[in-house]
Amino acid sequence: MTAAAVPVHTSEGSWLTSLMETIVTLMEVIGPIGAGIAIALENLFPPLPSEAILPMAGLAASRGSFTLTEALLWTTLGSVVGAFMLYGIGAWLGVDRLRRIAARVPLLHPEDIDRTVAWFVRHGGKAVFFGRMIPLFRSLISIPAGITRMPLWKFGLLTAAGSLIWNTIFVLAGFLLGEAWPIVERYAEAFQLLVIVAVVGGLAWFLTVRIRGILRERRRAAEGPALNSLHGPRSGNPENPPT
Mean pLDDT of all residues in 127-132: 92
On whether residue 58 sits in a domain, the answer given is yes
Contacting residues for 62 by C-beta, under 8 A, at least 6 apart: 68, 174, 175, 176, 178
The most confident of the ranges 6-10, 51-55, 76-80, 175-179 is 76-80
Total count of residues recorded for the chain: 243
pLDDT at site 10: 47
Q: Model confidence at 127, in pLDDT bands (50, 70, 90)?
A: very high
pLDDT of the residue at 240: 56
Which of 33-37, 88-92, 107-111 has the highest average model confidence (pLDDT)? Answer: 88-92
**What pLDDT score was predicted for residue 148?**
92
Q: What's the farthest any 2 CA atoms get from each other in the chain?
A: 109
Q: Given this model, what pLDDT does residue 4 score?
A: 45
- Alpha-carbon distance 131 to 135, whole Å? 8
To the nearest whole number, what is the mean pLDDT of the chain? Answer: 79
Q: Tell me, yes or no, whether 187 lies in a domain.
A: no
pTM of the model: 0.73
* Cβ-contact 119, 175 below 8 angstroms: no
Please indicate, yes or no, if residue 108 is contained in any of the structural domains.
yes
Domain membership flag for residue 217: no
Q: CA-CA distance, 158 to 131, in Å (whole number)? A: 10
pLDDT digits (tens, 9 = 90+) for 41-87: 888 876 677 777 888 888 888 888 888 999 999 999 999 999 999 99
CA–CA distance, 152 with 163 (Å, rounded to integer): 16
Domain-located, residue 74: yes
Q: Which of 46-50, 112-116, 146-150, 234-238 has the lowest mean pLDDT?
A: 234-238
**How many domains, the chain?**
1
Question: Residue 54's Cα: distance from chain center in Å?
Answer: 18
Single-letter residue type at 1: M
151 in any annotated domain: yes
Is residue 188, in this structure, part of any structural domain at all? no
Lowest mean pLDDT among 46-60, 106-120, 144-158: 46-60
For residue 227, pLDDT over 80 is answered with: no
Q: Which domain holds residue 136?
A: 15-181
pLDDT digits (tens, 9 = 90+) for 181-216: 666 666 666 666 776 777 788 778 877 876 777 777
For residue 94, being part of any structural domain is answered with yes
